[in-house]
Structure 1
Amino acid sequence: MTRKKPILLSLGAKAMILLTGLSVCFADMATAEEPPAKELFGGMKLPARAEPQAYGFYSRGCLAGGVAIPTDGPTWQAMRLSRNRRWGHPQMISLVEQLSKDAAQYDGWPGLLLGDISQPRGGPMLSGHASHQVGLDADIWLTPMPSRTLTASERENLSATSMLKKNAFLTVDPNIWTPSHARVIMRAASYPQVERIFVNPAIKKKLCDTWTGDRSHLGKVRPAYGHDFHFHIRIKCPSGSVGCKSQDPVAAGDGCDASLAWWFTDEPWAPPKKDPNAKPAPKAKPVGLGDLPKACALVLDTPGPASEEEATFRPGATGLAALTPPSPAAAGSGTAPGFPPDLAKVPVPRVRPAAP
């Protein structure tokens, strides 16, 4: 019987194997210990003090230089204040303010009740939305603003009004829907910076069947389940937002065609066909910081303003001028250096402490 000679490894080779094993081990530990991105961004109370920039896509990104719309305005009131989601890119906040004023003046809509816009630094939310991550989305209730100021309790507990008939998922209730609902939605769609308006398919069909005004913007109004209590405004990537990923343009036409009819068939509800030979799909992991654009790590680490008041939008202003003057304590802190950053050089830490 012939013995095989043992394989002799140099000290350097042994060290390389050891280091490789350790690096794999540490990488696994880091991945396991990294908090979900929704916890990191959901824990931020104030924005990154920086030039306004949207990074990534509407459903996978973050926001620098966000501003808050005031809780109350002459033609709006913000709802669900405990969520701290009335932040957005200054252009988004400016558009909401403009819509509230135009709708009150021209469309018989007394004022907007504002739902979620974004978190102070954007990013994945702790609950409720897959999008709204880059400060360019806003939910507007289909309930008109009352003539009085709502209490804190009402803002937390009042429910928006569905436009649909009870037990009729895809039929608009004519006793609830009014021409003013149509006008405020089409007003929002008419703004050139608006890319899409999401509404329940039944609302889209109602507009297709009854809107007699300018239909050139009707194609922006897109059907999507879950939008019978509110409509969702999405604006384009602002000019100069390095790293903001645009959505494909909407198709030509008014959208009142076979693409709308599809929503009223059984196909959207049909379960996907399963391959009997396919292996079970691995359990989806929560989105981590490393799954977002590299700039989002810097957005998290950038100092914020001294107070919410300092980062509150001033109606009628745009860009950095939309911010209230900094407090004496914050004066001189200026805009965070390094924005817009060189995305290729921004490190992505794999282990981070939970956000305060």
Structure 2
Amino acid sequence: MNVRAILPLLLVSAIAVLGGPATAPDAFAQTKGTLHPKPLPPLTNPDDPSLAAKQLFGRKMLPTAGPPHVIGFYAKGCIAGAEALPITGPTWQVMRLSRNRNWAHPAMVALLERLSARVHKDAGWPGLLIGDMAQPRGGPMITGHASHQIGLDADVWLTPMPNRLLSRNEREDMSAVMMVRRDRLDIDPHTWTPRHLSVIRAAAREPSVERIFVNAAIKKALCREARGDRSWLSKVRPMYGHDYHFHIRIKCPPGSRQCESQTPPKPTEGCSAHDLAYWFSDAVLHPKPPKVPPKPKPPLTLAQLPSDCRQVLAAPDARP
């Protein structure tokens, strides 16, 4: 396990968020953190079968010891032996340190380090600002995401890293830059640049990457602006939110027998008017509130996760 970043991170990471409903990806990504996070209170009855699994996983501050082991699906699982992405590297910096979500499978950590160096060298990108990856043992999060549960997802801000070391306060307060025009029909030409395409293209060309999620307006711009080999566009998928960042998802690592793969995307570019029509429909751009508000979806319980996630929760902490 990579422990280079554990001790500095734990100085500020007692989980800054204390509950509430999950929010849209970008809305939560822009939520400010704190330099003085409050620890979650002890659970009265942690063995209650109706208890939300996010309450259990959200209280684990360190991963398990031992080799990495992915269990389950991106939105229903956990991870043993997760590795921390160091909070500062030559060409990346981790944001929102108070969330303690810079954990992942070592394959994802290696990809982010490699990608940040590549786009710095080849695209002139100053460096990557890394958002949420996973919790120390994965699992459901108290706020923010349905996926990111097995250490194979990571959010990367579309704001280039400043040419200096950000303070802890800046990493909690700084907001990413909006890439989408106010009418939601295209990118904002005042913020979007050809280098943004270069960064997303470099990520999509990584063999281990399964999908990249972006706002539909960003997908539209990529389709319009991509030149030469366009095969990588098949991995870039429109998704709600993702106005400020893109979401990288990698494949199940080799030998991960308990990792549930996602159906590979179709090999087409996904750039036709038909492909994008849904995302630019009035129902999506200007949704009408339902006459009867839907009941909140009940959170996942531990019984609904793969059975081995119980062992991941019960395992002793890895040594910092």
2:269 counterpart (254, 277, 292): 254
Alignment partner of 1:59 is 2:65: no
Q: TM-score, normalised by structure 1?
A: 0.73
Give 1:159 shift. 0.3
Q: Name the counterpart of 1:194.
A: 209
What are the equivalent positions in structure 2 for 1:1-356 lying under 5 Å apart?
34-165=50-181, 167-257=182-272, 258-268=274-284, 284-307=297-320
Alpha-carbon distance change, 182 to 304 in structure 1, aligned in 2, over 3 angstroms: same
Report the AA paired with residue 250 of structure 2. Answer: I
Give 1:35 shift. 2.6
2: distance between equivalents of 1:76 and 1:103? Answer: 11
| Structure 2: unaligned runs, 5 residues or longer | 1-44
Q: State the Cα deviation string for residues 204-246 of structure 1 (Å, max 9, x = none).
A: 0001011113201111000012101000000000111121111
Report the AA paired with residue 308 of structure 2. Answer: A
Alpha-carbon distance change, 157 to 283 in structure 1, aligned in 2, over 3 angstroms: closer
Report the AA paired with residue 209 of structure 1. Answer: R
1: distance between equivalents of 2:50 and 2:290? Answer: 35
Alpha-carbon distance change, 45 to 207 in structure 1, aligned in 2, over 3 angstroms: same
Report the AA paired with residue 154 of structure 1. Answer: E
Q: CA RMSD in A?
A: 2.2
Q: State the Cα deviation string for residues 297-344 of structure 1 (Å, max 9, x = none).
A: 00011112121xxxxxxxxxxxxxxxxxxxxxxxxxxxxxxxxxxxxx
Give 1:272 shift. 10
1: distance between equivalents of 2:283 and 2:140? Answer: 30
2: distance between equivalents of 1:291 and 1:49? Answer: 24
8 A Cα contact 2:116 2:128, kept in partner = yes
Q: TM-score, normalised by structure 2?
A: 0.81
Alpha-carbon distance change, 30 to 148 in structure 1, aligned in 2, over 3 angstroms: closer
Report the AA paired with residue 113 of structure 1. Answer: L
SS at match of 1:38: helix
SS at match of 1:217: helix
Number of corresponding residues: 274
Give 1:273 shift. 9.7
2: distance between equivalents of 1:172 and 1:30? Answer: 46
Q: State the Cα deviation string for residues 54-111 of structure 1 (Å, max 9, x = none).
A: 1111011101110001110000000000000000000011000010000001011110
Report the AA paired with residue 299 of structure 1. Answer: V
1: distance between equivalents of 2:154 and 2:197? Answer: 18
SS at match of 1:231: strand
Q: State the Cα deviation string for residues 85-143 of structure 1 (Å, max 9, x = none).
A: 00000001100001000000101111000000000000000101111000000000000
Report the AA paired with residue 143 of structure 1. Answer: T
